[in-house]
Amino acid sequence: MKRISISPPVAALILAVILFLLSGLLPNGFGSDLDVARAQATNILRLAVFLGVIAAGQTLVIISGAEGIDLSAGSVVTLTAILTYVIVNGANEKVLPALLVSLAVGAVIGLINGAGITFLKISPFVMTLGMSGVVTGTIIIVNQGSVSGKVAPIMTRLIARPLSPEIPIPNAIIIWLIFGTLMWLLLERTAFGKNLFAIGVNRVTARLSGVDVTGMNLATYSLAGALAGFGGFLVVGNTGVVFIALGQPFLFPSIAAVAVGGTLLSGGKGSYWGTMAGAIVLTLITSLLTTMQMPESVRRMVLGATLLILISIYGRQRSLRQ
């Protein structure tokens, strides 16, 4: 009895394509106009980039196992978006410092998460949940109701605009592809990646095979924080405005994207390609529902139901009886 097996990233991508083609049949869909279809596809991909990058850190902590999860990602996105906004304040030459600050602030928050989880044995769920509150509190104090700043033209050029007038691919997508390749290299072609999978499966075995589990845990959460920080930088470069609730809507979709992409939520198995596919599926569904002018209530329900169906297909855990 051989089961038909299809890898989750591929399944998610096929689903995305089917959904997209179906959306063309909607009353206000692209119909048979290929140019419009291409434009819509590009736009959805561009939107998926932000969720995809924010979900990268989530992928790492989930692979690291021991109930790893980062619930502070949303608030970190907001914080670094605001920092970028304030630091850059319209000046091109401040973009690089702003990026570095975003990465560093994210990394420090991640490091605190990692320290609490590793040394104080707080479960990742509550530690990062608590940290999310702390970060949000910090934002409120820094913010005090209003921020003044501005993104720089070069950010808009590099993130929101297409590569060139002839090649209508937004830069964000190119950044994402490079980013995806780097993530693949990190997970599959470095000792760090191999050790990450190892601690995700079995920390005792990993330690007895010479893996510095403590160090790996700290590094993983820091890296996840830094990646969320990078996400905040990208998001503000795209939207051009900041507000307190900017990052939070990305949080749970980032976890969902990882799950839809076939990464085991219990750790030790998964890929960033899968997360990318997951981010595309989720973004596609959201934008489809928006196109169909569905009210918020229906959008939520459809998103929930889709997620439920997807994980029912390949998110099943091993049965107790074999």
Partner 1 sequence: MVESLSARNIVKHYGGVVALTDGNLEVHAREVVALIGANGSGKSTMSKVINGVVVLDGGQLLLDGKPIDFPSPQTAKNAGIATVFQELSLIPQLTVAENIWLTREPLNQFGMVDQKTVHARTEELLALFAGTFKTDLHPDAPVASLPPDEKQIIEILKAVSFDPWLIILDEATASLDSRQVGRLFELVQKWKEQGKAIIFVSHRMEEIFRIADKYSVLRNGRTVGAGNIKDINEKQLIKLMIEKESVLGFLRGEAKSGERIEQEISLEAQSLTTDYLRGVSFKLRKGELVGIGGLRGQGQRQLLHSLFGDLPYSGTVKLFNKEVHFKHPREAMRNGFALVPGERAKEGLLYIRSILDNLLLPSWKRYGLPLKVNQAKMDATQTGSSLNLKMAGLEEPVSSLSGGNAQKVVIGKWLMREPKVLLLDDPTKGVDVGTKAEFYTLLTQLSEEGKTILFYSSDDEELIGLCDRVLVMYDGMIRTELSGNTLTKENLISSSLGVTNGGAE
Partner 2 sequence: MKQSGWDALVARRPALFALILLVLSLIINFILQPNMFARETLNSNMRVFLPIILLAAGQAIVILGGGIDISVGGTVSIVNTVLATRVGLEGSPEQMWQFVFLSLLAGLIAGAINGFFIAYLRLQPIITTYATSFIYAGLALVILPNPGGGIPAQIVSLYRNSTPFSLPLAVYIIAIVLLVWLYVSSTRYGKFLFAVGGKADAAYETAVPVTWVQFSTYVISGLMAALSGIAITMLSGSGNADIGGPMTLNSITAVVIGGNALSGGVGGVAGPIMGAITLGILQNIISFADIDTWWETLIKATIIVLALAAPGIVNLFRRRKRS
149 binds partner 1, rule: CB under 8 A: no
Say how many Å lie between the first and final Cα of the chain, rounded.
14
List residues near partner 2 by CB under 8 A: 67, 69, 116, 119-123, 125-127, 129-134, 136-138, 140-141, 144-145, 252, 255-256, 259, 265-266, 295-305, 307-308, 311-312, 315-321
Among 25, 167, 191, 245, binds partner 1 (CB under 8 A): 191
Give which of partner 2, partner 1, none residue 209 binds (C-beta under 5 to 8 Å, depending on kind). partner 1
Q: Which is nearer to partner 2, 67 or 292 (CB)?
A: 67
CA 316 to chain centroid: 23
Q: How far is the CB of 177 from partner 1 (least distance, A)?
A: 18
Q: For residue 63, count other CB atoms closer than 10 A to its CB.
A: 26
In the bound complex, what is the minimum distance in angstroms from residue 24's beta carbon to partner 2? 25
> Of these, 45, 60, 77, 198, which contacts partner 1 (CB under 8 A)?
198
| Count of H-run helices and E-run strands, the chain | 13, 0
User: What is the smallest separation between the CB atom of 278 and partner 2, expressed in angstroms?
Assistant: 11
Tallying the residues shown for the chain, one arrives at: 322
Q: How far apart are CA 247 and CA 244, in angstroms?
A: 8
- Cβ-based neighbour number of residue 44 at 10 Å: 20
269: which 2 tokens?
């198995």
Q: What are phi and psi of 264, to 5 degrees?
A: -65, 125
- Binding partner selected for residue 129 from partner 2, partner 1, none, CB under the kind-specific 5 to 8 Å limit: partner 2
Distance CA 64, CA 222 (A): 13
Q: How far is the CB of 245 from partner 2 (least distance, A)?
A: 13
Which DSSP string do the residues of 171-211 spell out, in sequence order?
HHHHHHHHHHHHHHHHHHSSHHHHHHHHHHH-HHHHHHTT-
Total of chain residues touching partner 1, rule CB under 8 A? 26
Residues near partner 1 (CB under 8 A) are 1-2, 185, 188-191, 194-195, 197-198, 201-202, 204-212, 268-269, 321-322
